[in-house]
Structure 1
Amino acid sequence: MKVSNHLLAASAAPLPTRREDLLARLTEPQVWDLLVVGGGATGLGVAWQAAREGLKVALLEARDFAQGTSSRSTKLVHGGVRYLAQGHWPLVREALHERRGLLERAPHLAQPLAFVMPTYRRGEQAFYGAGLKLYECLAASVSLGKTRFLNAQMTQASIPGVRVEGLRGGVQYWDGQFDDARLALALARSAASKGACVVNRVSVQHLLYENGRVAGVRAQDAEQGQAFDLKAACVINATGVWVDDLRLADGHEQKQAMTRLVTLSQGVHLVVDASFWPGDKALLVPKTADGRVLFAVPWLGKVLLGTTDTARPDAPIEPRPASEEVDLILKEAGRYLKKAPRRSDVLSAWAGLRPLVRADSSSSDASGLTQKISREHHIEVSRAGLVTVTGGKWTTYSAMAQDVMQQARRLAGLKPAGRAVTENERLIGAPNAGEWHPQLTRPAGAHLYGSEQGWLEGLPGAQVVLAPGLTEAMVRFAARYEYARSVEDVLARRSRCLFLDATLAKALAPTVAQILRQELAIDPGQAAFEALAAEYAYCP
């Protein structure tokens, strides 16, 4: 297909992600300034920050970028409304500032979103409205919009899917939404564009030491099995819900004095057809019958319902929703949606684990709930010099990265290479200001590629539509420029099909596998993905 010159000129040519080249560079004899372990929001944010400063950075991800928590969020860029009631005002203020920065860095993948909180009881509107007005005031100059009080008629017109019986009014306020997995990819690719060596499917076997200090890692290529040593001035443990595994493997720590840093919370989300919540505004219920928060968020042409917040003792790679969690979301959604969803209406059901910083006051309560635990991040430096970062949330990934870099500079004497760093420098694919107006509430498509849309449309298969929002060219783009190595990589995180419609994703697996075999000449794991998709499609 011929692509117009102005589209191709909109961005630089995408940087290829040939695995042979990445591994060859990774294993060259050298000492990295910074070695980041973990390819979620936190680790990728650190790599991006360090690479922009001109440091020699390598990042290792054992599986795929954002495969864990960072692709399983509620897709919200927010300051944390619920933390106002807990008195965490500084945390909320920081998150609101970071919210604006995230939206500016990736306007093709993040945008403002209006939320409406319907009220059914006397005094609710005034009570919650005062809190949301405070939320707006804390945002100050980085506010995304005015908080408005709505009467019953205005509320019904604003969110036509809401239950009208007993409706007294509502409050509208603003937060943001985003595509979490694609933002992670944008961070990975942006770090690589600044010189970082970013590689997925390379695991850390153990830490290396020199004179009692952490000096690198023994790593292993998960695909070929090759093991190799990597030296670094500073090693960052940013492995999310699994940070304690590497901490407790630090051979130079006193094990009897160590406790686990994180406690885990499981959040479950259900996806249903847009007919259950028509329009482009989200629903917020601040307190359900059991004290949790309920969202109905229009996202990529579907509606996301969630979330639960339940303590979990283990950290599986693929957490699954419990039957009672599914029932809880459907029951609460049925109380507020005009059209109540049933199990048979669920297109995809998935769960994510949140790493919450453990403290004396942060243990879950007797009910097993964890919604009172703060999402503030925590940085620990071990006696041997391993830097561990945990907690936090997507919205504040950049602030977390800056805090980590302060520790790394102090610990290893790292100095920026004199490269100027712009606070809200835009990520790969970000269009020029005012040039694009993507809507994350509408179905996925080429618009999510931002300024790289022209390069996408120049690939073979640009006109071959595999499913709404997915073309053959998108699969090829994922394999050539987005580190994709499997059917799951493509249909779960480069495309979000698995999270939107698991049955459709399973049906697409053979075609996607065939294209990946052409591009990569490897087994793309079709059978494993089909089994996974069957689990997402089935509500226990």
Structure 2
Amino acid sequence: MNREHLIAQLARPISYDIAVIGGGATGLGVALDAASRGWSVVLLESHDFAKGTSSRATKLVHGGVRYLAQGNIGLVREALHERTVLLHNAPHLAQPLPFVLPAYHWWELPFYGAGLKMYDALAGRAGLGATEFLGRRETLARLPTARSAGLKGGIQYWDGQFDDARLALALARTAAARGALVVNYCAVTALRHEQGRVAGVSCEDRETGRRFEVSARCVINAAGVWVDQLRQQDGAATGHPVSAMVAPSQGVHLVVDREFLPGDHALMVPRTEDGRVLFGVPWLGKLILGTTDTPRNDLALEPRPFRQELEFILKESARYLVRAPRPQDIRSMWVGLRPLVKPQGDDGDDTKGLSREHTVLVSRSGLVTVTGGKWTTYRAMAEDVLVKCMEKRLLEPARPGVTANLRLLGGEPTPRDSVPLSEPQGLHSYGSEADAVLALPGAGNELGGGLSEAMVRFAARAEYARTVEDVLARRWRVLFLDARLAQELAPAVGAILREETGVDPQVQDFLQLGRSYLEMPA
């Protein structure tokens, strides 16, 4: 992706229909939907696409079994529908996955089984497979390393899993193919107001320091857990102070080798010792264990786990696995901040009770803010945002949305065999674009861990990659899977990137970052 061309486009003195702030799932979903309807769109991301929350999910495309227990039928029904849409539109990046809930008390089988049968009923034709009651032997066949002592049986149900960062990238590239200008490493520094109305943004290219003024009829704040910063700036400029609407919640994940839970079934514990949910998810050749739900007030771009959270995950894993991971078995650990929506006037810190639904607000100046929700419903969130913009007459009506049946780049049907997302990354991760990768220099030169020279070149030329972190954290997920291997690959990747881009690939910064994905907190 030619950076100079992107910046030249940004410098053009034109007015866009829509300026989107934030290159995570929500912002990219809005940009794709809007561009597909014919509006002119610019999206600005201060770092890399999905650098924040959107690359740090539990990798699940799900309807939300826990929300069913809370009685939120509408949210579950919507998510189940969107799950099917996502699996269809990006089959190389999102696939069905069977989950097994082991039961160590007799009451768990009828209690959770009834809820999961209702989950099937709500999915209807969008279901991925029927819920099954399993005997003790069948449960152990699917979860070979589950603790057998006291095991009564289990329940298997179906949800999905996905590659979150690569899905975000596919959204960005598909939006660009539909005419949107999407630019990473370009930070919005201020909102522009004219006669009390938001009329655009000021931004800065983080590579060169060049500044630009971007005019837009409608400005959409999709900055995730950071939306309140822009809302407060907007309120100060118009004399209408606002209170925070986001209460960040921290989800922690640790990654270990698949030997701790071999096979292609995920482990689901619906209620841990303190009432949270624990998952063990096979993903890209490793096993992800998570996630906790802890309030966090600081909004670090690279949040680190609290020691007690890691100890909690390891302790809970030991209750269900014959051989539980120890701290020295951790290959990588990472944290995602979730933008949970606070009820007005709520200053509490119990994030388990806050809303997982998304919220769309329009300020007096016309700034549109969207936050909350989850990856599975990103497309529905985007539709809701654009409907709200039209209702408020910030946009002229356009044709109906088309994203429900819009395959993302790489998602076209291909004769290549489908490889489960539980298996290590490979050429299959590119879907129908695999041949384009093979056509680049270095296709036969593997750098390590399945990553080839050609894949790095493809990341630079077609996938907006600028730094070693962009490649090894989000285009190729090795930082999230094996931080030591990522550090070993960094110098070779940096040399190729420098050749492709002509800019500093920030190898030393990445090596320091990689260490933080391995260090146990004090």
* TM bin (shorter chain): over 0.9
After TM superposition, give the deviation of residue 539 of structure 1 in Å: 2.1
CA contact (8 A) 2:419 2:428 kept: yes
Equivalent-residue separation in structure 1 for 2:185 and 2:257 (angstroms): 34
Note the C-alpha offset of 1:358: 0.6
- Matching of residues 243-282 of structure 1 within 5 Å: 243-250=227-234, 251-256=236-241, 258-282=242-266
Q: Deviations over 1:361-410 (max 9, x none)?
A: 9665xxx5422322100001000000000000000000000000112223
Distance in 1 between the 2:345 and 2:99 partners? 31
Partner of residue 467 from structure 2, selected from 479, 483, 486:
486
Counterpart of 2:198 (choices 193, 204, 214) is: 214
- Aligned partners of 2:403, 2:102: CA distance in 1, in Å? 40
Asked whether 1:188 is paired with 2:172, we answer yes
Q: Separation in 1 of the partners of 2:362 and 2:400?
A: 27
Deviation at 1:412, TM superposition (A): 4.1
SS of the aligned residue for 2:337 comes to strand
Q: Give the Å deviation of 1:418.
A: 5.0
Letter in 2 for 1:267: G
Conserved? CA contact 1:112–1:144, under 8 Å: yes
Q: Judge conservation of contact 1:253–1:382 (CA < 8 Å) in 2.
A: no
Specify which of 57, 62, 72 is matched with residue 41 of structure 2: 57
Which residue of structure 2 lines up, in the alignment, with residue 202 of structure 1? 186
Tell me the equivalent position of 1:67: 51
* C-alpha distance in structure 2 between counterparts of 1:422 and 1:373, whole Å: 29
Cα displacement (A) at 1:87: 1.0
Q: Distance in 2 between matches of 1:298 and 1:338?
A: 17
TM-score, reference length from structure 2: 0.97
Q: Deviations over 1:294-345 (max 9, x none)?
A: 0000000000000010001111111001111110000001111121100000
1:470 maps to 451
Alignment of 1:108 with 2:92, yes or no, is: yes
Residue 457 in 1 paired to residue 441 in 2? no
Q: Which amino acid aligns with 2:450?
A: G
Percentage of pairs with the same residue? 58
Task: Check conservation: 1:436, 1:450, Cα contact below 8 A.
Answer: no
How far apart in 1 are the matches of 2:505 and 2:413? 36
Q: Which amino acid aligns with 2:505?
A: P
Q: What are structure 2's unaligned runs of at least 5 residues?
A: none
SS at 1:249 equivalent = helix
Q: Is 2:196–2:238's contact at 8 Å kept on the other side of the alignment?
A: no
1:348 and 1:500 in contact (8 A); partners too? yes
Three-state SS of the structure 2 residue aligned to 1:423 is helix
- Which residue does 1:392 correspond to in 2? 373
Partner Cα distance (1:530, 1:339) in 2: 31
Rounded Cα–Cα distance in structure 1 between residues aligned with 2:462 and 2:134: 46
The answer to whether residue 301 in structure 2 is matched with residue 312 in structure 1 is no
Alignment-derived partner of residue 504 in structure 2: 523
Three-state SS of the structure 1 residue aligned to 2:469 is helix
CA offset digits 1:57-105 (Å, max 9, x no partner)? 0000000000000000000000111011111111111111011111111
Alignment length (residue pairs): 520
Distance 1:228 1:277 in 2: 51
Give the direction of change, closer, same or farther, for the CA distance of 1:374–1:39 in structure 2 (3 Å limit): same
1:420 & 1:236 partners in 2: Cα distance? 17
Out of 391, 411, 414, the position equivalent to 1:430 is: 411
1:433 positional shift: 7.3
Is residue 302 of structure 1 aligned with residue 286 of structure 2?
yes
Q: What is the CA–CA distance in structure 1 between the aligned matches of 2:133 and 2:31, rounded to whole Å?
A: 43
Kept after mapping to 1: 8 A contact 2:192/2:202: yes
**Counterpart for residue 425 of structure 2:** 444
- TM score, norm. by length of structure 1: 0.94
1:255 is displaced (CA, Å) by 4.3
1:123 partner letter: W
Q: Equivalent residue for 1:165? A: 149
Letter of the structure 2 residue corresponding to residue 100 of structure 1: T
Q: Please tell me the root mean square deviation across aligned C-alpha atoms, in Å.
A: 1.4
CA contact (8 A) 1:252 1:384 kept: no
Instruction: Give unpaired runs (5+ residues) of structure 1.
Output: 1-16
- Determine if the alignment matches structure 1 residue 128 to structure 2 residue 112: yes
Q: How far apart, CA to CA, are the structure 1 residues paired with 2:339 and 2:165?
A: 17
The within-5 A match list for 1:80-95 is 80-95=64-79
Match of 2:492 among 499, 511, 530: 511
Does the CA-based 8 Å contact 2:84-2:126 persist in structure 1?
A: yes
